[in-house]
Amino acid sequence: MSRFIARRLLIALFQLLGLVLLVFFAMRILPADPVARLVGMNATRDAYLASQHALGLDRPIWVQLGSYLGVLPGSHGLLEGDLGTSWVSGSSVASELRHRLPVTIELISISFVLAFLISVPLGMLCAIRPGGVADSATFAYSLFAGSQPVFWWGLLFIYIFFGQLGWAPPPLGRLNPMSTPPPFVTGFISVDSLLAENMGAFWDGLHHLMLPVATQAFVLTGPIIKMVRQNMVRVLGADYVLYARASGLAPSRIAGVALKNALAPALTLLGVLYGYILGGAVLIETVFSLPGIGQYAVQSVLDFDYPAIEGVVLVIAAISLFVYLALDVVHAVLDPRLAA
């Protein structure tokens, strides 16, 4: 088992290194001029050169890479966990991400749990009678939900639940702008507000998450239902289910046993989905003005803020790889044949 984890970790590390190098070179090969973007169109040649020098972009590309990685003497870099300094705000990318990431993780994780809780019973319902009315309807729903523009549904929900019904707060961030946020400990508003015993902020935070989570969870139910259904249909056709049925076990007991076996292979796909949504959180964060990593990514891309872009890609890829790995480990624990 530990060899399995070690091997996977090593592969993940190489993948991350490959990603860093690819992003680093891609940004310098593509015909974009970050210096011109920073100093503006009307800057003098001297100002341009000074800015270029200040950013270190006048150095040879290998020196830039060396100092980014932190292998040059006297430079702090990636190998020490230093993601560099934002060219626009001047503050450390790592600390900016530290504040942004929890917002996104909180949003995505709650949406995932909610989507999962909705999808598993629906997927099972389909699998118990494949081809039945419930199956056809749920199948059409999952195909529909899985192919929807999440940003448009967010706007639609805002129009209905904020504009018309007034149930939701205005889509302007994580908390009511007039209230004082709880002190930053973990960055997760729900956790921090509980730690500060600030129940007002806790409920306000959940209230602000209502629509973004509903939107994200709606879109997520599509692929998850499909996945649960497929695996359930496969498992219900297995010999041990037939045996259980022949032994006269109640259908609900059989379904329970089958579910456990159906969910194990589904874990891998959940991991892939989590990584995908983490990168795609941009859209929902833009619609609801949530200060998460997605908004940070858009801003840094539009500003040509290279260190920030590198940081975002690296952190998102690292989290995705870590989630795959963790789920593979869980999967291998459930099914020891895989680790062999």
Partner 1 sequence: MSEALEFAGAGTGGDARARFRQPMPDLLFRLGLGVVMLSMVLMLIGPWLAPYDIGRPSEEIGQPPPALAAVPGLLVDVVTGETHPSIHWFGTDDSGLDVFSRVLAAPRTDVVIAVGANVVSLVLGSLLGLLGGAGRPWMAGLVMRVSDLVQAFPVFITGMILVTLAGRSNTTIILTLALLYTPIYVRLTRAEVLTQRQRGFVDAARALGKSEAAIALRHVLPNALAPSLIQASVTIGFAILLTAGLSFVGAGVRPPTPEWGLMIAAGADQMVQGEWWPSLFPGLAISLTVFGYAAFGNGLERRYAA
Site residues, partner 1 (CB under 8 A): 15, 18-19, 22-23, 26-27, 30-32, 129-131, 135-137, 139-140, 143-144, 146-152, 155-156, 158-159, 162-164, 170-171, 233-234, 236-237, 241-242, 245-246, 275-276, 278-280, 282-283, 286-287, 297-298, 301-302, 304, 309, 312-313, 316-317, 320-321
By beta-carbon proximity to partner 1, the closer residue of 128 and 334 is: 128
Ramachandran region, residue 238 (left: φ > 0; alpha: ψ -120 to 50; beta: rest): beta
By beta-carbon proximity to partner 1, the closer residue of 201 and 262 is: 262
Tokens of 240: 């041990």
Shortest reach from residue 73's CB to partner 1, in Å: 30
Shortest reach from residue 193's CB to partner 1, in Å: 26
Tokens of 185: 């400990």
Shortest reach from residue 328's CB to partner 1, in Å: 14
Shortest reach from residue 37's CB to partner 1, in Å: 10
By beta-carbon proximity to partner 1, the closer residue of 1 and 143 is: 143
CB burial of 81-105 (b: ≥16 within 10 Å; e: otherwise) equals ebbbbbbbeeebbeebbeebbbbbb
Shortest reach from residue 150's CB to partner 1, in Å: 8
Kindly state the DSSP code that residue 100 receives in the 8-state scheme. Answer: H
By beta-carbon proximity to partner 1, the closer residue of 14 and 184 is: 14
Shortest reach from residue 327's CB to partner 1, in Å: 15
By beta-carbon proximity to partner 1, the closer residue of 72 and 298 is: 298
Q: How far is CA 89 from CA 86, 162, 297, in A?
A: 6, 33, 14
Q: Nearest Cα to 326, choosing from 279, 284, 270?
A: 270
By beta-carbon proximity to partner 1, the closer residue of 163 and 183 is: 163
Say if CB 201 and CB 188 are below 8 A apart.
no
By beta-carbon proximity to partner 1, the closer residue of 44 and 247 is: 247
Q: How far is CA 44 from CA 34, 36, 39, 41, in A?
A: 15, 10, 9, 9
By beta-carbon proximity to partner 1, the closer residue of 181 and 292 is: 292
CA-CA distance, 314 to 55, in Å (whole number)? 20
CA-CA distance, 53 to 80, in Å (whole number)? 24
Geometric angle at alpha carbon 279, from 276 and 280, rounded to 5°: 85
The alpha carbon dihedral of 334, 280, 187, 215 has a sign of: negative
Shortest reach from residue 247's CB to partner 1, in Å: 12
